[in-house]
Chain A
Amino acid sequence: MSDDYAKLKNHPAMLGAGLVLLAAALVALPFALATVGTAWVRITNLAILFALLALGLNIVVGFAGLLDLGYIAFYGIGAYIYALLASPQFNLHLPFWAILPLGALVACVFGVLLGAPTLKLRGDYLAIVTLGFGEIVRIFFNNLSRPINITNGPQGISRIDPFRIGDFDFSRSETLLGLDVSGPIKYYYLLLVILMLVIAVNLRLQDSRIGRAWQAIREDEVAAGAMGINTTRIKLLAFAMGASFGGLAGGMFAAIQGFISPESFVLVESIMVLSMVVLGGMGNIWGVILGALLLSFVPELLRYTVEPLQRSLFGKLIVEPEVIRMLLFGLALMLMMLFRPAGLWPSKVRKRELE
């Protein structure tokens, strides 16, 4: 990556032209997708959300080398905070710019609460503890409808407020400059901006003092400690930061979907995000985004192709697309670790370490 970049640097005109083209493509994308169907804009939005999540998990798994199997819990916490404070559930309708950071903060606090006692543990124990934490959080979402109805149990919370700035409502369709701009398209641009911000933060983080400390811990914790890095604190920082990104993505998920239930925050989702990180390349920001986009779009494409294909070949549905999706995640995890442990688009350092 950095090599290619260095080569391009010698041709600033080409680099500039490439960036302009990319930007134009990203701006035009939702309108192109909308001609196929608004569903695809929604799928793209979800893909960007998952890219955000995967970037958050990448801080924990990719940079710091800590396996977190309960990551979706932070996403859930962010989503529930948003939903509780901006829905008819408690008749609160706080503005999104206030509760989105709040969700990230609460998720961060939970990350610290979980991380502080457990980060002393060896890596594989940590994986199981985080998994247990994820399950506990989900069980609470599911059951905190009694004796006081907080989460509304398995029914979840509906009619969650969309993002609104003054009169500008992100969920409403309107005509701007002669173009039909639907709700999902507005969210697309918002998500794109947030994704770019998060990428920028991640890129800066990666090469910062903290980022280098994470990598040092990942490669050899004892040596990192000997070099004067406060390993527990730096690991906790990774955990807290990953958690806040998760919480942020969760809040946006709640607003965009308008409905959340504990179903969205099960173990499988944690594993899905992990698959994205592993498939793309642990520790490489661009690889992780690639992984998230691949694992978001490929199953959807399969849904639209495999089902009709099976019906025309065998006259009935033999393997449901949902099952193919899951098998894809499982196989991605296994085969990547066995044959290309550094991922499809590996980070240089990580590759040296794993191969």
Chain B
Amino acid sequence: MDIFLQQLINGLTLGSVYAIVALGYTMVYGIIQLINFAHGEVVMIGAMVAFSVINLLAANTALPPLVMLTLGIGIAIPVCMLVGYTLERFAYRPLRHAPRLAPLITAIGASIVLQHVAMMVWSRNPLAFPQLIPNPVFPVAGATISLVQIVIIGTSVLMMAGLTLIVYRTRLGVAMRATSQNPHIAGLMGIDINWVIAATFMLGAALAAVAGVMVGTYYGIAHYTMGSLLGLKAFSAAVLGGIGNLAGAMLGGMLLGIVEALGAGYIGDLTNNVFGSNYQDVFAFMVLIAVLVFRPSGLLGERVGDKA
């Protein structure tokens, strides 16, 4: 089996999920310069809600699996949007003019509260995420790709295209871009910036919900802490691509996924098994630190002045 190609495929799958989550970080950062620390938790809530809905449907109805999955996602999205809105409205909006440290600390608090509320509602144990769609494996030039992987990559690409359309082709998108350039002037032009910022959070949360279901399906597990590491890595991806830049988040996510997968696949060979694949999680942070040190504006980002 071709390890390189196989890890590339795994990396692309993981990378699409990172990219989708990274978009949520980058949109919020682009518009109000806040690291929405609780975004990873929104992903987790998405997975958990879909888990409950699907289990409920599977126990009480005989709907076809695809319909159940669609319903699961269909309910997870509005729930996550509500969570996103609530966060913005009650945790961040009151602090919009406070020093930057303040909303960041609130965000950390919100993330802990969300995690533990989720733990009380669901369970402290990992939940087996229902495997609804059959998962046949196709051979590709010495490696394999599974249907779930194809679906994840395909859906991600579609969502990225959709988001790009919203941001560059709709009135909401124009309003978002205007607000991110200068909220004051945007307000003077008749844009309801409170609404635009809330909409940005909700868009990001909707993407996060889908990402949550993807992660749940891919790994077959949902857990109340699943969002924090994922969120961190996605944030690293957003920084890698250039935070505030949509294309950057997509590129950064994909790259990070590939770096991680290849790193985990080769680190053992490269270091004579001194370091093993259990160091996989280190790569994302190494990349993050390296980017911030050598190119703080990221791959596609423009140099921005210090607004500290």
Contacts and interface: CB of A to CB of B under 8 A. Distances in A.
Interface in B80-97: 91, 94-95
Given A122-B306, A123-B101, A136-B282, A332 B109 contact: yes
B119 A323 contact: yes
A335 B308 CA distance: 23
Interface string B41-84: 00000000000000000000000000000000000000000000
Contacts of A190: none
B288 A67 contact: no
Interface stretch (B4-12, B161-169, B232-240): B232-240
Contact of A135 (B35, B285, B296): B285
Contacts of A120: 296
B120 interface: yes
A69 interface: yes
Interface string A340-354: 010000000000011
B274 A128 contact: no
Given A118-B292, A319-B120, A334-B110, A123 B100 contact: yes
Contacts of B100: 123-124
Max chain A Cβ within 10 angstroms of own Cβ: one of B105, B281, B296 = B105
B27 to A, nearest CB: 16
Given A123-B308, A267-B228, A331 B113 contact: yes
A117 B288 CA distance: 12
Contacts of A67: 101, 104-105
Interface stretch (A139-147, A199-207, A253-261): A139-147
Contact of B239 (A125, A139, A338): A125
Interface in B106-121: 106, 108-113, 115-117, 119-120
B279 interface: yes
Nearest to B34: A124
Nearest to B109: A333
Contact of A133 (B112, B117, B289): B289
A271 B289 contact: no
Contact of A127 (B102, B104, B228, B306): B104
Given A121-B296, A338-B94, A341-B98, A278 B105 contact: yes
**What class of interface size applies to chain A in its complex with B?**
35 or more
A55 B288 CA distance: 29
A326 to B, nearest CB: 5
**What class of interface size applies to chain B in its complex with A?**
35 or more
A135 B236 CA distance: 13
B293 interface: yes
Nearest to B113: A330
Nearest to A272: B112
The dominant DSSP class at the A interface is helix
Contacts of B109: 275, 329-335, 337
A307 interface: no
Contact of A129 (B33, B95, B105, B292): B292
B125 interface: no
B159 interface: no
A217 to B, nearest CB: 10
A124 B113 contact: no
Nearest to A122: B308
A142 B280 CA distance: 13
Given A147-B274, A353-B99, A69 B288 contact: no
State the 4 A-B residue pairs at the shortest beta-carbon distance, nearest first. Answer: A333-B109, A330-B112, A132-B285, A334-B109
Interface of A: 65, 67, 69, 117-118, 120-125, 127-129, 131-133, 135-136, 139, 142-143, 146-147, 221-222, 267-268, 271, 274-275, 278, 319, 323, 326-327, 329-335, 337-338, 341, 353-354
